[in-house]
Amino acid sequence: MKKSCHSIGPLSNNIIVSVISNSHAFALLRDEWNELLETSNQNTIFLRWEWLYNWWQVYGVGSHHLCIYTARKYGVLIGIAPLYVKKTYNFFNEIVFLGSNIVCSDHLDFILHKRTEAGLVDEILSAIARNHLWDAIELRNLSSTSTIIGGILAFFPHNRVFVDSKNTICPYIQLTLPWETIFSAYSPVIKNCQKRKSKKLEKLHKISYYETASDSDAKNMYPHFLGLNKMRFEHKKMLSPFCDAKFAEFHEKIISDPAWKDMLRLGFLKADDSFIAGIYLLTYNNSYCYYQSGFDPAWESYSPGTLLLHDCIKTAHERGAKEFDFLQGNEKYKSNWTKTVRYNTKLRIYNNNFRSLWLYSILALKSYFIKFMRSIQSHVAVFSFIKTGTTISEPFRLILRHLKIRN
């Protein structure tokens, strides 16, 4: 029988690092995990046990292997590296964060006890280094201010270590400021929309804002949100992420989990008897995260999504929340709400073996090929437009999409 948890042994300072390798042992960590998280500097909703365990139940299938490193001192849990091993090209072993895929978990990190944070990174990295079966480590959606970045750079001085120079922007609103200061930072577009369109809508219709108040309420209202979300994406001629079977299954689990009753809120804007906009918010540690939204295109002229988002931000401020997080992404609409940003980054470390060199070479060639294709696409599009007034770049987009690279 495969062991669910095995100890690597005491490394130093009476710290014992173990590896959790199956779901049963992962499940038993729930209370200790959340207790450590709540007293750490990494206390975000995307590192909650419930978020990552449910993620693993949905996405941890096939060739993936659980690889959670836990550090204990005198039996007390003081550190967690929430990782798993995935197969790249069905051959190479890459160690990555739990939750780092389409679900868009932001601000991922190691969870470390505050008083032992400085030295604990080395202890966990020593345990990972003793496992010679990995070819690369890729840590995505990592806060650019994370303490583990410096620890990794110092610990792997002779490995190929890459820190992504193109950090991902993460806009947010600091809600501890006076409301007048927050509202004044909105762009003129948002201010005018909130003032004019709300008055116009209220003049013609009976308007109300609704927020789910319990887990059963959220479960009952979830189909209404999904309908609005899918309408929004269909209007943009795109597929909603909820159309993906695994993505939908993951959120069904989250919605159905009673532990989320205070951490998940669905908000709605109602005109007369119709729900015309919906929003999916995550609330944790005095912070609101804007996860997804939707609206009925028939009401687009009133900008219902903007009106609902404004109401949610104002409500969060009134409740004493410290921030409203738009999560990662440089979508243009976010800059209309705030200019305050932080950054996520990506670390990639290659092991010192032939397989790692092989993987590094493959990915480098792939990167060069993508840049080459984009260059050709650009030149062909310009030439075609000059000659005919149209572009013929769609074949190149399809190739890039096949390579799973956003064009």
Once rounded to an integer, what is the mean pLDDT over residues 25-47?
95
- Note the pLDDT tens digit of each residue in 38-66: 999 999 999 999 999 999 999 988 778 99
Q: Is the pLDDT of residue 132 over 80?
A: no
**CA triplet 348, 7, 17: central angle to 5 degrees?**
50
Which is more confidently placed, 77 or 214? 77
Cα 195 from chain centroid (whole Å)? 32
- Note the pLDDT tens digit of each residue in 298-312: 999 999 999 999 999
The mean predicted confidence, pLDDT, of the chain is 87
> Per CATH, the architecture of 5-167+344-352 is what?
3-Layer(aba) Sandwich (3.40)
Sequence spans of domains, the chain: 5-167+344-352, 176-321, 353-388
The pLDDT assigned to 62 comes to 77
Task: Give 39's DSSP letter.
Answer: T
Which is more confidently placed, 12 or 157? 157
The pLDDT assigned to 405 comes to 45
Q: Among 72-86, 144-158, 200-214, which stretch is predicted with the lowest mean pLDDT?
A: 144-158
Q: Is the pLDDT of residue 404 over 60?
A: no
The pLDDT assigned to 162 comes to 79
Once rounded to an integer, what is the mean pLDDT over residues 178-182?
96
Confidence band of 1 (pLDDT split at 50, 70, 90) = very low
CB atoms within 10 A of CB 186: 18
The answer to whether 282 and 289 have CB atoms below 8 angstroms apart is yes
Element (H, E) at 398: helix 394-402
The answer to whether 284 and 291 have CB atoms below 8 angstroms apart is no
The pLDDT assigned to 379 comes to 55
- Note the pLDDT tens digit of each residue in 186-236: 999 999 998 899 999 999 999 999 999 877 888 999 999 999 999 999 999
The pLDDT assigned to 189 comes to 93
The pLDDT assigned to 2 comes to 45
Q: Is the pLDDT of residue 262 over 90?
A: no
Find where tokens 């959120």 sit: 251
Q: At a CB cut-off of 8 Å and minimum separation 6, what does 51 contact? A: 45, 99, 105, 254
- Note the pLDDT tens digit of each residue in 298-348: 999 999 999 999 999 999 999 999 999 999 988 999 999 999 999 999 898
CB atoms within 10 A of CB 211: 16
The pLDDT assigned to 388 comes to 53
Q: Is it true that domain 176-321 has CATH number 3.40.630.30?
A: yes
Tell me the three-class secondary structure of 252-287, residue by residue. HHHHHCHHHCCCEEEEEEEECCEEEEEEEEEEECCE
The pLDDT assigned to 81 comes to 96
77, amino acid identity: L
Element (H, E) at 162: strand 160-163
The pLDDT assigned to 7 comes to 55
| CA proximity to 279, closest of 288, 292, 270, 269 | 292
Once rounded to an integer, what is the mean pLDDT over residues 80-106?
89
The pLDDT assigned to 378 comes to 60
The pLDDT assigned to 397 comes to 56
- Fold match flag (5-167+344-352 vs 176-321): yes
d(CA 5, CA 81): 14
Once rounded to an integer, what is the mean pLDDT over residues 79-87?
94
